[in-house]
Amino acid sequence: MKHTGSENLALGAILSHDVINLRLNGREPDETLAELVDQIKDIAGQPKARQTLLRALQEREQLQATNIGDGIALPHARNALVGLVDRPIVVFGRHDEGIPYGNDDDTPARLFFLLVAPSVTQHLALIARTSRLLRAPGLRQGLLDAGSPDTVIGLIREAEAEAEL
């Protein structure tokens, strides 16, 4: 499905098995960001594009960590990455132990949603939609317990349907 402009971007439709990693291993934010970027096969295979995205994510984290609390981080570049991607991309990663991720509540980040978009409108819509969706404690716990990418996608689709997002 090709997404355009300001339409609602369903995470459950954007997510696919190949961009879900239920076993992140990084011990620090930069390692975890690299693992998440490497889930995007179109970018991971292009060293220049990979470095551009990784640098943009690291610069954003230096401004202010994208940890939103409750063990959740939404890494994203400061701006849309026009020309780097031609469609919105959401990567989901889970870290069993969690890592310190610049949060004030001392809760290690365990759930990561890497958000990449080709336009400012889509960029802002993805951030807003994801943060609204993750307010539901049941979804957060389900994602922590999920045993497969299918379960992750199903949980997100169900939460979006319930929230009518």
Q: Quick check: pTM over 0.85?
A: yes
CA angle 63, 74, 105 (to 5 degrees): 75
User: Of all residues in the chain, what percent are helix, strand and coil, respectively (each to 5)?
Assistant: 45, 20, 35
Per-residue pLDDT of the chain in tens (165 residues, 90 and over written 9): 344 443 568 999 999 999 999 999 999 999 999 999 999 998 988 999 999 999 999 999 999 889 998 999 999 998 777 788 899 999 999 999 999 988 666 789 999 999 999 999 999 999 999 999 999 889 999 999 999 999 999 999 999 999 876
Identify the three-state secondary structure at position 2.
coil
Cα–Cα distance measured from residue 35 to residue 20, given in angstroms and rounded to the nearest whole number: 11
Q: Which CATH superfamily is domain 12-163 in?
A: Mannitol-specific EII; Chain A (3.40.930.10)
Cα–Cα distance measured from residue 131 to residue 134, given in angstroms and rounded to the nearest whole number: 5
